[in-house]
């Protein structure tokens, strides 16, 4: 079992006992909770708004499909603790795979649908995945064409299923997803240790390869309680466009509404005009998540006062939230709350719609139920109130650790505190404001971009570049955009932006990771040992590319 080799972070018994007493942890597994909710709210609606694979059914219908798939996977040897991955757009099949995996007591591995074959192959190998479900094609991507690369030399992988293949020829080791669903249902939900791994979410980090973040039944259950209690969307039915392969989309569409008995509405392509039309047709809220989802609607010419009735309450998080965005939304009559967290610790702080204007619009809120935070200086000492410090957090929704033991050791201390590598300030009201980031990532529209990965590739495809540093530039729509700052060999002309972009795309870099600015400098700001000071570089880049209001 893959789960047996993952190093779990230390955590004191008195801390976990407190979470149990406060009702933040319980002894039910994710599969048991989902099954009970699907039965209890069987008449509730699950709807996929898609031009390619629309689907509408009840929770009862969804449960029947998941039980059939679980029975099929069990018959093919999938056991508790095994890893089952899917790379699918926001289609019903993603939910079916997710729920079926939890019914088996297996470990879910959601993969964002725009990850390329190199990333997907790494994830399948790192997690020892035994079953993998993917699409035949979606948009410009031909996943069938990628399958031989993705599935090469994976001895643990025994089941490969393809959604929407139609009459297309499948590789010898693959079957149609419909074949998997046509099976005898699982007779009984498999019980498991609630402290055991239930999900591995991959996120880009400071290294080129994605990091596997391991969550348990307990940590995910706590996260659902925390976010559900926040009611960031004001309690209105919501249209989710964040990919369910992303941790935020998975929580917002496949877990929270299901466990709370609320309708689910997913859209697989975020086309603002179509989103606005769908909002009115089905009376849905939208715009929560990364800032782009809200700004793309506020910017669109189809937006009307009637739409704003459904945009009254929005929760933003998963990326930087510029004050310009929250203030613009506020002036349009939209109540915005900000949330702070990560895949590792999803909900550290947050604000509520009833909070004051300053807390909601200009801070990232207060610690959520059961969460503790501390701000430390470079020497590991607590900083004074109002002074910046690196944020360390601990809470019932914090992950178990990483699939890579060295990362678990590096980011968790002996008492279970998580080192976020973010810098913040606590005010006298207990509200946290993020002011800087130590970790070398850019968060564009909620998607992490590894600066190291982009830097490595730029040096490879542009031999005239002697040094490069990729940093985040604030953006009113996406939160942040990547900016590549390069130092050229003497006499070399500055490369054209278009040529840099095409070279990186041709080298296999995902479109969302390609720098949107390329700046040339004679030299970098450096420490006494010659290391590039990225904090200064970010400030300089932001000055060259000022944040523009989308109003």
Which stretch of DSSP H or E encloses residue 123? helix 117-126
Average pLDDT over residues 375-389: 90
Lowest-pLDDT range of 45-49, 66-70, 247-251, 476-480: 476-480
Residue 550 in this model has a pLDDT that exceeds 50: no
Which pTM was predicted?
A: 0.84
Residue 529 in this model has a pLDDT that exceeds 70: no
pLDDT level of residue 208 (50, 70, 90 thresholds): low
Taking the C-alpha atoms of residue 94 and residue 105, their distance in angstroms, rounded to an integer, is 17
pLDDT of residue 436: 73
Residue 217 in this model has a pLDDT that exceeds 50: yes
Closest to 86 in 3D by CA, of 104, 105, 107: 107
Q: Mean pLDDT for the chain?
A: 90
Lowest-pLDDT range of 55-69, 105-119, 532-546: 532-546
Q: Which class for 59: exposed (0-12), middle (13-18), buried (19 or more C-beta within 10 A)?
A: buried
pLDDT of residue 525: 86
Instruction: Give per-residue pLDDT as tens, 303-344.
Output: 999 999 999 999 888 666 767 778 888 889 999 888 999 999
Q: What percentage of the chain reaches a pLDDT higher than 90?
A: 66
**DSSP line for 363-382:** S--EE-TT-EEEEE-TTSPB
Provide the angle, in degrees to the nearest 10, between the axes of the packed helices 291-298 and 272-282. 90
Residue 197 in this model has a pLDDT that exceeds 90: yes
Average pLDDT over residues 238-244: 94
Which stretch of DSSP H or E encloses residue 21? helix 13-21
DSSP 3-state of 332:
coil
Taking the C-alpha atoms of residue 108 and residue 84, their distance in angstroms, rounded to an integer, is 5
Instruction: Give per-residue pLDDT as tens, 257-279.
Output: 999 999 999 999 999 999 999 99
pLDDT of residue 448: 81
Average pLDDT over residues 140-163: 93
List domains and CATH numbers for the chain. Answer: 2-9+24-215 (3.40.50.980), 220-437 (3.40.50.12780), 441-544 (3.30.300.30)
pLDDT level of residue 551 (50, 70, 90 thresholds): very low
Eight-class DSSP state of 31: H
CA atoms within 13 A on the CB side of 52: 20
Residue 126 in this model has a pLDDT that exceeds 80: yes
Taking the C-alpha atoms of residue 509 and residue 459, their distance in angstroms, rounded to an integer, is 13
Instruction: Please give the radius of gyration of the chain, using alpha carbons only, rounded to the nearest integer.
Output: 23
State the virtual CA torsion across 198, 203, 205, 211 in degrees, nearest 10.
40
The residue ranking higher by pLDDT, 329 or 176, is 176
């Amino acid at each position: 079992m893959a789960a047996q080799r993952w190093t779990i972070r230390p955590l004191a018994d008195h801390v976990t006992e407190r979470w149990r007493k406060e009702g933040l942890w319980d002894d039910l597994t994710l599969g048991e909770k989902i099954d009970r909710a699907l039965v209890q709210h069987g008449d509730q609606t699950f709807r996929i708004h898609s031009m390619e694979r629309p689907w509408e059914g009840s929770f009862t219908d969804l449960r029947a499909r998941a039980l059939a798939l679980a029975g099929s996977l069990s018959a093919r040897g999938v056991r508790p603790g095994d890893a089952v991955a899917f790379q699918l757009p926001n289609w019903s099949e993603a939910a079916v795979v997710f729920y079926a995996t939890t019914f088996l007591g297996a470990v879910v591995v959601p993969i964002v649908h725009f990850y390329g074959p190199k990333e997907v192959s790494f994830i399948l190998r790192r997690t020892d995945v035994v079953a993998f479900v993917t699409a035949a094609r979606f948009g410009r991507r031909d996943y069938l064409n990628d399958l031989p690369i993705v599935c090469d030399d994976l001895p643990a992988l025994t089941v490969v299923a393809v959604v929407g293949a139609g009459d297309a020829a499948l590789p010898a080791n693959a079957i149609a997803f419909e074949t998997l669903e046509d099976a005898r249902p699982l007779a009984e939900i498999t019980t498991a240790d609630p402290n055991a791994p239930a999900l591995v979410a991959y996120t880009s980090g400071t290294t080129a390869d994605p990091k596997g973040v391991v969550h348990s039944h307990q940590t995910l259950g706590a996260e659902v309680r925390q976010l559900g209690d926040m009611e960031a969307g004001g309690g209105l039915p919501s249209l989710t466009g964040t990919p369910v392969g992303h941790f935020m989309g998975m929580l917002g569409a496949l877990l929270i509404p299901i466990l709370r008995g609320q309708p689910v509405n997913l859209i697989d392509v975020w086309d603002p005009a179509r989103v606005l039309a769908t909002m009115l047709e089905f009376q849905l809220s939208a715009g929560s998540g990364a800032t782009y989802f809200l700004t793309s609607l506020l910017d669109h010419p189809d937006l009307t006062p009637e739409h704003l009735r459904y945009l009254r309450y929005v929760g933003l998080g998963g990326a930087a939230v510029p004050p310009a965005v929250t203030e613009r939304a506020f002036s349009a009559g939209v109540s915005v709350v900000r949330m702070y967290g990560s895949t590792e610790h999803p909900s550290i702080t947050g604000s509520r719609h009833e909070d004051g204007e300053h807390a909601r619009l200009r801070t990232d809120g207060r610690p959520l139920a059961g969460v503790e935070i501390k701000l430390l200086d470079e020497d590991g000492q607590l900083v004074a109130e109002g002074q910046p410090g690196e944020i360390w957090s601990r809470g019932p929704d914090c992950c178990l650790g990483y699939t890579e033991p060295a990362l678990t050791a590096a980011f968790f201390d002996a008492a279970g505190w998580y080192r976020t590598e973010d810098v913040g300030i606590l005010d006298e009201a207990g509200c946290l404001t993020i002011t800087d980031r130590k970790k070398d990532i850019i968060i564009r529209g909620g998607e992490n971009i590894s600066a190291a990965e982009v830097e490595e590739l730029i040096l490879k495809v542009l031999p005239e570049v002697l040094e490069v540093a990729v940093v985040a530039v604030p953006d009113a729509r996406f939160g942040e955009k990547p900016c590549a700052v390069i130092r050229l060999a003497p006499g070399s002309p500055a490369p054209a932006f278009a040529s840099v972009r095409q070279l990186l795309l041709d080298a296999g870099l995902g479109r969302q990771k390609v720098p949107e600015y390329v700046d040339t400098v004679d030299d970098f700001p450096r420490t006494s040992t010659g290391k590039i000071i990225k904090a200064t570089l970010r400030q300089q880049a932001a000055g060259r590319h000022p944040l523009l209001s989308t109003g």
